[in-house]
Amino acid sequence: MSFLPPITNLQAFEAVARRRSFALAALELHLTASAVSHQVARLETQLGVRLFERSAHGVRISVAGEQYLARVAGAISAISSATDDLRQGVTNSLYLHSAPSIAVLWLMPRISDFTSTHPEILLNLSAAHTHSDFALGQADIDIRYGVPNWPGLEIEPLFDERVLPLASPKFIQRHRLRRLEGLLDVPLIQSAVSVVQWPDWFARFCNSPPPDRYALRFDRAQMSIEAATQGLGVTLESAKIAAGHIADRKLKPVFGWDQSITVQAHFAVYPARHGRRPAVAAFLEWLRQQTTKPE
């Protein structure tokens, strides 16, 4: 049987790693700093690895500690959540993980419909660029963004989305953007994680090569969309994710809807066994209804 460290030692490690302080971790765990330090030291002895670098200036997690934290933090959270549910008598909980931008811009405006339709289901939502690890019990369903290469999992595309240049109406008017080549004379915003990049768009629609550099670069679509809303430049983003901004006339397609690249990039991902759970099946059915509704 594989060795499993005591959960108290793992909790102490996770708290110190997250708070970057033995004293703050001790307050959170209702222990003394000395007790937390001893628990972490015992874990380091059990693993044969130094998890933290201690100095007069404080505590800093080691490379090995960072790697270990990435693997165990989700498992500790899952155990804690399952324990809380059991103690509180919750038997129908659903743990949903999502890419951040779709969670904020597309899912959150709709989620009240699910909670009102299924009041018996306790929904827990987390968001991060990193995918949920189903082996560690971190989520029931993961809404992922990217190229669907996740073997051993059920993968459902959510919708087709058009990726196209978007900017605020005032920005378009101020810069008199009428020709595609005009994009070379204005600030362009790069969304670093997008499956469609500016070179892809220029290759499809414009005879001119793309610029060598961009005015702004973000790792979240939400930030790129917000920057364009504030008139900081033109962003290349999904009209589906930016639908609220477009409906509110904060953004508009710079050259109309024809200059767009259609992709499938958002997916509901889950192990087949999860799909048999009533709460998961209910959410998936609701998700399918939402993605087929006309805008």
On whether residue 278 sits in a domain, the answer given is: yes
Residues 147 and 238 placed together within one structural domain of the fold: no
Strands 216-218 and 188-191: parallel
Closest CA to 241 of 216, 223, 218, 259: 223
The answer to whether the Cα torsion of 17, 21, 22, 25 is positive or negative is negative
Cβ proximity of 235 and 227 under 8 Å: yes
pLDDT over 60 at 87, yes or no: no
pLDDT for 90:
46
The whole-angstrom separation of Cα 91 and Cα 89 is: 6
Specify whether 187 is located in the same domain as 69. no
Residue 29, domain CATH: 1.10.10.10
Q: Give the lowest-confidence range in 67-71, 108-112, 120-124, 273-277.
A: 67-71
Q: How far apart are CA 22 and CA 15, in angstroms?
A: 8
Q: Quote the DSSP letter at residue 186.
A: S
In a domain, 173, yes or no: yes
Report the mean per-residue pLDDT for the chain.
88
CA distances from 150 to 194, 229, 268, 275, 277 (A): 18, 34, 11, 16, 21
pLDDT at 258: 92
Residue 28: pLDDT band (50, 70, 90) is confident
Does residue 285 have a pLDDT over 80?
A: yes
Q: Across residues 120-139, what is the average pLDDT? A: 82
153 and 272 share one domain: yes
Let me know whether 60 and 202 are in one domain.
no
Lowest mean pLDDT among 57-71, 113-127, 234-248, 254-268: 57-71
pLDDT score at 2: 63
Q: What is the mean pLDDT of residues 191-210?
A: 91
Residue finishing a domain among 85, 101, 128: 85
User: Is 2 inside any structural domain?
Assistant: no
Are 128 and 244 part of one and the same domain? no
Q: Which of 58, 85, 112 is the last residue of a domain?
A: 85
Average pLDDT (65-90) is 69
pTM, two decimal places: 0.71
The answer to whether residues 119 and 236 belong to one domain is: no
Span 116-137, average pLDDT: 84
Count of structural domains, the chain: 3
Tell me the CA distances in angstroms from 262 to 146, 200, 290, one per residue in order.
14, 12, 19
Same-domain check for residues 151 and 113: yes
> Higher pLDDT residue, 1 or 185?
185
244 band by pLDDT with thresholds 50, 70 and 90: very high
User: What pLDDT, on the 0 to 100 scale, is given for residue 83?
Assistant: 64
d(CA 227, CA 236): 11
Residue 122 above 70 pLDDT? Answer: yes
Classify residue 215: in a domain, yes or no. Answer: yes
Q: Which of 85, 102, 125 is the last residue of a domain?
A: 85
Nearest to 252 by CA among 176, 191, 169: 169
Same domain, 278 and 148: yes
Please write the tens of the pLDDT for every residue from 45-58: 988 999 998 877 77
Show Cβ contacts of residue 227 under 8 Å, excluding neighbours closer than 6 positions: 189, 216, 218, 233, 235
Domain membership flag for residue 40:
yes
- The answer to whether residues 21 and 58 belong to one domain is yes
Looking at the fold, whether 205 and 112 belong to one and the same domain comes out as: no
**Residues contacting residue 292 through CB under 8 Å, at least 6 positions apart:** none
Give how far Cα 59 sits from Cα of 25, 63, 64, 65, 240, Å: 12, 13, 14, 12, 44
On whether both 225 and 251 belong to a single domain, the answer is: yes
Task: Kindly state the percentage of the chain with pLDDT values over 70.
Answer: 92
In a domain, 120, yes or no: yes
Residue 20 lies in a domain: yes
In this predicted structure, which of 85-94, 123-132, 188-197 has the lowest mean pLDDT?
Answer: 85-94
Of all helices (H) and strands (E), which one includes residue 218?
strand 216-218
Domain CATH for 133 = 3.40.190.10
135 and 59, same structural domain? Answer: no
Structural domain range at position 118:
92-158+265-292
Q: Give the strand pairing for 93-98 and 141-145.
A: parallel
Task: Please determine, for residue 255, whether its predicted confidence score (pLDDT) is greater than 50.
Answer: yes
Query: Among 43, 150, 142, 60, which residue's Cα sits nearest to residue 94?
Result: 142
- DSSP string computed for 41-72: HHHHHHHTS--EEEETTEEEE-HHHHHHHHHH
